[in-house]
Chain A
């Protein structure tokens, strides 16, 4: 399996070359184009309940697609719905990443995707829902963001504070606490903002340079109210 990011920047596309018999998981709707040798199967990762809970609690799409080079070698082109950068990580069997619901684009077949419940306060206050995707196993993991992806490297014990709406993924060796950035919980209720995560290393934290919720609110003001 070989992967390459085409047109790096705001409108990237990922090309993944598959040998015969190889397969990858991709977010449904991520596939742009593929060789005629590729078969697309919709598979419910984590079983029906897993898929259902993901759907209900993270708003994630019900299915991941499996793209399999069943009739010979070929390639697939993947892209995300929103403009934003793509980053390819390599899982080696010991490192694990927690990924925000919209952060996953594709993963090698050896990558396991679990919905993981977060603690109550994190779920309630974080505005990310109660479930995150936990990526473990071995192989390539492709993440996408809204805006540019920025990698924060934390040494053991080093801390960093991130607005939670800008989070994409973080290593499971980090720990974090949700903290209130402003007073008035009702305001954060409606806007989903006002909370920050205080991360503590070691590990990596990937953030996106744009906030989808904030962008949505910005766009909304230009949409005329129907009369």
Chain B
């Protein structure tokens, strides 16, 4: 056969992939010529009358013309894709086929139309999302954050946590660790049904800092504990940090900073790459600053948490104020938590609006904790 095949024919005795064939449209119907198996062999032909053929659209994108009929050798299905053959068929086809032909054509148009519509909607949504993120629409960020399972957040936070701790002098036990654990337990106990299991580590360092990573990984530096005059002050910082976790502030920042890339990678179904994308873009969980609204939220919810845990919230306010005033040592916490008098005033107002707190003491002695940290006992006020 010299003319290349232009259609695929399926039938019971043919392989499932179909047999390539040459379709000729004639006045009465179709002539289908099958190539011979070997070059010298005779090619074989079948004729089909229009009257026996039914017509539909088929194939992966419903863009092929499918003809079916029952011939002398059983059912036959013919897939036509070649535009010239399809045109010839439409022209030659008798009256009774014109309606199904029109329906098939309609189906093809509908599929194309639907594809176009869906892509337009998705494109518009993507653009809206990107613009929304770009202009910092918190609603969209929150929507995106809501979709991210806690397990991802924990994985993200945990890897940063382990990486950070690897280079630190970790205090494994002792009064300071016990004290921080007790505070965290009392605070976390006031958040029922929380998906987060808080893990706290005390790091031996004179840096005055504490932070919480997404997923509930908390680090407290001994420098911060040494600065505190009472356990309530440390508990105040912890309450604030725990609320960054509970309100998922870290994720909000990540989504905001990643913006387009995050959305695209999530939409395209490659969320495990999120951590890698963050690394590429140089987003560091450790030095990530929260927004002012997030700080206020963590302050206020932290204050309420202290109140529910029956820890005197005054400690939080006095500690914040003292950290801001004294310009001594490396108060790293301030670089991520800029202190302002407005912030303390806001907290004071919040506290004044609450009923009188009923404080319960901790089981440990703060003096013992401080002595364990190497603070001379005379320094205790």
Contact = CB atoms under 8 A, between A and B. Distances in A.
Interface of A: 57, 92-95, 98, 119-121, 124, 127, 129-130, 153-156, 170-176, 186, 189-190, 192, 201-204, 225-227
B115 A129 contact: no
Contacts of B149: 186, 190
Contacts of A120: 115, 118-119, 122
A173 B59 contact: yes
Residue of A98, A120, A154, A176 most packed against chain B (CB within 10 A): A120
B118 A203 contact: no
Contact of A190 (B16, B60, B114, B272): B272
- For the complex of A and B, the 7 pairs showing the least CB-CB separation, nearest first, are A153-B16, A120-B118, A156-B77, A202-B10, A92-B20, A94-B20, A172-B60
B49 to A, nearest CB: 20
Contacts of A92: 5, 20
Contacts of B166: 226-227
Contacts of A94: 5-8, 20, 81
B198 interface: no
Nearest to B268: A129
Given A173-B79, A226-B163, A202 B16 contact: yes
Interface in B1-46: 4-8, 10, 12, 15-18, 20
Contacts of B7: 94
B59 A153 contact: no
Interface string B107-138: 00000001100110010000000000000000
Interface in B142-183: 147, 149, 151-152, 159, 162-163, 166
Contact of A203 (B18, B75, B115): B18
B268 A130 contact: yes
Contacts of B159: 225
Q: Do most interface residues of chain B lie in helix, strand or loop, or is the interface mixed?
A: mixed
A127 B267 CA distance: 10
B376 interface: no
A75 B166 CA distance: 53
A156 to B, nearest CB: 4
A170 B58 CA distance: 15
B269 interface: yes
B182 to A, nearest CB: 27
Contacts of B151: 190
